[in-house]
Amino acid sequence: MIGISLSKPYRGKWSVAWILFAGIAIQDTRACLLAALRKLQDGESAKQFEQNFKSLSRLWEAISPDPCLYPHRFTYQWLSGVFVAHRRRKSKGGKDGLEELSAKTRKLIEENISFKQMVDALPVFKIDQNYTGHLEELPTAADKAAALEAMLSAELTEDGGQGFVYRLLGERLQKIKQSKDASDKATEDRLQDLQHIAEDLAQTKTEPERLNLTQPGEYELFTVLRGCATTQDESYLADCARQMIGQLQTHQLLAPGWSRSKGGRMRVGNSLLAESWNPAYAQLGFNPDDPQPAFVDLALAELAGLDG
């Protein structure tokens, strides 16, 4: 660790911001930046770094341009660049992270042109059918896994409440993130598992149009039926979802505000239950003697999410 000859309060803030990167030789290189980002792959470590760096940044803003800071200017620039790269990677929209920093810190980052260019050059992507091309820009399986995990977390964790499928994908992601095994074999397996989630997420984004489930509630109900039914016939499940939503609309049960009253939710739930007894839905495999099948509560939750 670099020695710090600052006042005690500042020295303490510096130490906690730097401690996660102990063992990394600070350099203006892509490899060094990627090594730092791998240290932030764990959610708790990332949270700790964000909090500590912001605290350090406030102190730097207050003390600068005191000459005592000059020997530590490069290290602080490096920490700032890591923060910006980390925030860009976490941001679903790929924001540059600079807007979160104070004016003096932004200026420092912009002065270190070569390092800022490396930060800006790191692939920041959204999960779609083309995400693998961006992933291949990274040199190792560990770097790819770290980047992909960050992007999946931005879409599946930070944007909670997106729907049934997103929650299921988020649960799969959380299980992967709980593993602390850093061996080469574990890293390769982790990357493969993350890619499977990314592929499923990319497919989910195109499904509504592909299945012609474009009316409000149709795709949401389809995902519930697919998760609860004994059949996985997509065409049949899509038809069922369209018909059920059509019935709810015909009886005006999804009027704005329906989910905010107990009676409104009860009417929608009862309609879905009664509709499921229709012989046309027999292939769903629901038990007609079950007074409260699981799909009803799940469907209510999904449809209520659309009732703005």
Predicted pLDDT at 131? 78
Structure tokens at 105: 């810190």
Predicted pLDDT at 3? 37
Predicted pLDDT at 93? 52
Predicted pLDDT at 15? 64
> For residues 304 and 308, what is the distance between their CA atoms, to the nearest angstrom?
8
Predicted pLDDT at 29? 84
Predicted pLDDT at 5? 43
> For residues 276 and 234, what is the distance between their CA atoms, to the nearest angstrom?
17
- Successive 10-residue mean pLDDT values, the chain, 308 residues: 43 64 82 87 82 84 79 82 84 63 80 74 74 80 85 69 78 84 79 90 88 93 93 95 95 93 94 93 91 90 86
Torsion angle of C-alpha atoms 194, 199, 201, 204, degrees rounded to 10: -160
Structure tokens at 195: 């890619």
Backbone angles phi, psi at 274, to 5 degrees: -65, -40
Helix 262-276 × helix 294-304 angle, to 10°: 130
Predicted pLDDT at 4? 38
Residue 77: what residue type? Q
Q: Which three-class secondary structure state does DSSP give residue 209?
A: helix
| pTM passes above 0.75 | no
Predicted pLDDT at 177? 82
Backbone angles phi, psi at 287, to 5 degrees: -80, 115
Start-to-end CA span in the chain (Å) = 52
